[in-house]
Structures are given as C-alpha cells and as structure tokens.
C-alpha cells in the first residue's frame, strides 16, 4: 500500500451532508470516480476502500466513530498496512479557510480541530499531510459547534464540492510525489 487517505467526518445519517463531513465527501467522491466499493472493518471501526491512482495503491478510510475519535482507526490501518505517517493524507473541514478554498498542508498544529487532535495523539506525530477544505467561520466561537454540525446552504455546498473537485484534479500529482506542483496548482485557484 503506497498511501492512506483518511476522510474525517461523523458517521450516521444525521451528519451526512454537514460541513464537518467535508472529509467524508472527498473520499466518497474519489471512491465513486474509481468505482471502488466500501467495506466495514469492525475491528478498526472504519470503512475501507482500495483504489489505484496513477500507479499508486491507495487505501481510503472513513472512521466510523465520532470525529474526536478518528485517530485509532487511522493508526490501526496505517500500522496493519505499514504506511508511515508521511504517506498519510488526512482530509478535513477547516473553519479558518473561506468556503470553497482547499489547501494542502504538511504537518503543523491541530488548530482546535478535534479530529486532528486525536490523530496527532494516536499517530504520535504531527508529521502527516492534510488537505484542508474551507467551510468558513460562523463569526463567533460560541457558534462553531452548531455551525460545523449543520448543513451548508445551497451556494456554500456547491463551493465546497467545487473545492473537492479541484483537489481531486491535482491528486495524481500529489500521490506521485509532486506535492509542490499539486500545491501550486490548487493554491493558485
């Protein structure tokens, strides 16, 4: 296995189209485009799909526990498939980016994101790739929980999906080791 791409979100129909599930949306769209099917791995509390992207064998993962417990499923799959943290791409919603903006990032802090906080703890490092999908900010920290757990309006939803689509458009370069080229293209849009 060459890469692990983990989309972060909350399981269950109540959360399906919420802002917090932008990571799930990314991996689901990637699996759909690759005609991959998901299977539940109960022992790791995750759904998995395997795809091939430009010669790279890629494991897609959707943790099936809540966002703040995303780390254990990612760590378990990475350990089993012997995928080092440097070959993990975590896709997540980001309050600090405007709606519809997507950015790759290597390493760094969790920025208050509970899924990343748990991943840092489970992996024992912050040195993994992130793909940040901008969902905007509600304006005040007291509104954050309700905001991320709500469904975006129709225009915001289109912009989030457009960011996901642009990100998928540079994924071949990213996975082939051309991260700088992928970042330059995505970050200039």
Which CATH number do you get for residue 49? 3.40.50.1470
pLDDT of the residue at 54 = 87
Q: What confidence category does residue 162 fall into, taking pLDDT thresholds of 50, 70 and 90?
A: very high
Q: How many distinct structural domains can be found in the chain?
A: 1
Give the structural domain span for 7.
3-187
Residue 18 has pLDDT above 90, yes or no: yes
Annotated catalytic sites, by residue? 20
Q: What is the mean pLDDT of the chain?
A: 95
Q: What confidence category does residue 142 fall into, taking pLDDT thresholds of 50, 70 and 90?
A: very high
Residue 189 has pLDDT above 80, yes or no: no
Residue 85 has pLDDT above 80, yes or no: yes
pLDDT of the residue at 112 = 82
pLDDT digits (tens, 9 = 90+) for 23-58: 999 999 999 999 999 999 999 999 999 999 989 999
pLDDT of the residue at 7 = 98
User: With helix as H, strand as E and coil as C, how does the chain read?
Assistant: CCEEEEECCCCCHHHCCCHHHHHHHHHHHHHHHCCCCCEEEHHHCEEEEEEEECCEEEEEEEECCCHHHCHHHHHHHHHHCCCCHHHEEEEEEECCCCCCCEEEEECCCCCCCHHHHHHHHHHCCCCCEEEEEECCCCCCHHHHHHHHCCCCCHHHHHHHHHHHHHHHHCHHHHHCCCHHHHHHHHHCC
């Amino acid at each position: 296995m060459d890469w692990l791409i983990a989309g972060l979100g909350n399981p269950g129909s109540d959360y399906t189209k919420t802002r917090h599930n932008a990571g799930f949306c990314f991996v689901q769209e990637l699996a759909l485009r690759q005609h991959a099917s998901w299977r539940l791995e109960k022992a790791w509390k995750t759904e998995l799909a395997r795809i091939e992207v430009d010669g790279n064998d890629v494991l897609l993962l959707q943790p099936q526990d809540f966002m703040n417990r995303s780390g254990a499923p990612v760590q378990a799959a990475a350990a089993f498939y012997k995928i080092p943290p440097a070959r993990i791409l975590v896709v997540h919603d980001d309050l600090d980016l405007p709606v519809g903006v997507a950015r790759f990032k290597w390493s760094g802090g969790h920025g208050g994101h509970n899924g990343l906080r748990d991943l840092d703890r489970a992996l024992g490092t912050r040195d993994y790739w992130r793909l940040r999908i901008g969902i905007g900010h509600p304006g005040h920290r007291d509104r954050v929980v309700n905001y991320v757990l709500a469904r975006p309006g129709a225009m915001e939803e289109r912009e989030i999906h457009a960011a996901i689509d642009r990100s998928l458009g540079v994924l071949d370069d990213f996975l082939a080791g051309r991260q700088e080229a992928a970042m330059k293209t995505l970050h200039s849009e």
